[in-house]
Chains A and B, each alone.
Chain A
């Protein structure tokens, strides 16, 4: 039915335009506009597509409604829209994953700061992103690139080894250290996309 499509289309445009709003305000706005449309349709049952178009035209462009919802209330705005943008989300995940390789520790820490400052993740997501896996891929990368281990043994003496501990160079460490950050990165990206 064309009228249902018109309404769904309008609500989809509204949802997209409202991406920058805090989640609770966005949900509230969507509910109220949806209620307006259904009440308006109930009071004046539409006789055709034109009637439905009329209701939506009188509501006005979704972008204008969102602008009204965003403005005039500087105290209540919790986060800057920039930190909620999808580009920043991608950069955050990249820094968490590989920032520690490029700039040891600091690169990853910047990713952690952005993870917690950005508006797109729940606290659970952020804890996952921080604790699994600390340093991202950097620890595994450093072991693979720079780990050396030399062992000396003499007759009648136990083998003594210096350098990277053996357990760190083995698959039980390297396996998860490589796989978990990548999996968590994908998870964070998917959660960020769904929040938008």
Chain B
């Protein structure tokens, strides 16, 4: 195991977790693209290239986890708003539970309880 492996692993994990972070951001009110991108960017290291969020959102839409509506904006062009579907909500709940279990499991060793 190389020292650089941790970096690779974290990159992969971030890639895997990012869609669920997006689903979580949509737990409440629908949100539009720039808003989602801005909220994700508030956590350092979550997003390197903002543009890649859009294909991810499109994929979530194709998988039936989010759907989109158009809303007129007072001062500008209409915006696409994203929101969770029931399937998306279920997927988020399932991930939440798995993530908690995983986090507790790793912490058990890494934080030295064992």
Contact = CB atoms under 8 A, between A and B. Distances in A.
Interface of A: 25, 28-29, 32-33, 35-36, 38-40, 42-43, 58-62, 64-65, 68-69, 72-73, 76
Interface string B68-103: 000001011101100000000000000000000000
Contact of B52 (A38, A42, A43, A65): A65
Contacts of B51: 33, 36, 59-60, 62, 64-65, 68
A13 B50 CA distance: 16
Contact of B76 (A39, A60, A68): A39
A144 B18 CA distance: 66
Interface string B28-58: 0000111001000100000011111011111
Given A59-B49, A59-B50, A65 B77 contact: no
Contacts of A36: 33-34, 37, 50-51, 54
Given A38-B77, A65-B52, 7 more contacts: A32-B57, A33-B54, A36-B50, A39-B32, A39-B73, A58-B41, A64-B49
Interface of B: 32-34, 37, 41, 48-52, 54-59, 62, 73, 75-77, 79-80
Contact of B55 (A29, A58, A61): A29
Contacts of A68: 49, 51-52, 55-56
Nearest to A72: B59
A42 B58 contact: no
Main secondary structure of the interface of A (DSSP, over half): helix
A59 to B, nearest CB: 4
A42 B55 CA distance: 22
Nearest to A55: B50
25 contacts: A25-B58, A29-B58, A32-B33, A32-B54, A32-B57, A33-B51, A35-B77, A35-B79, A36-B33, A36-B37, A36-B50, A39-B73, A40-B34, A42-B75, A59-B49, A60-B49, A61-B49, A64-B49, A65-B49, A65-B51, A68-B49, A68-B55, A69-B58, A73-B59, A76-B62
Contacts of B52: 60, 64-65, 68
Nearest to B57: A32
Contacts of A64: 49, 51-52
A92 B50 CA distance: 39
B99 to A, nearest CB: 20
A76 B49 CA distance: 23
B55 A65 contact: yes
Contacts of B75: 42
A67 to B, nearest CB: 8
B74 to A, nearest CB: 10
A68 B53 CA distance: 9
- In the complex, the 8 A-B pairs of residues with the closest C-beta atoms, listed nearest first: A60-B49, A69-B55, A65-B51, A42-B76, A59-B51, A68-B52, A32-B54, A68-B55
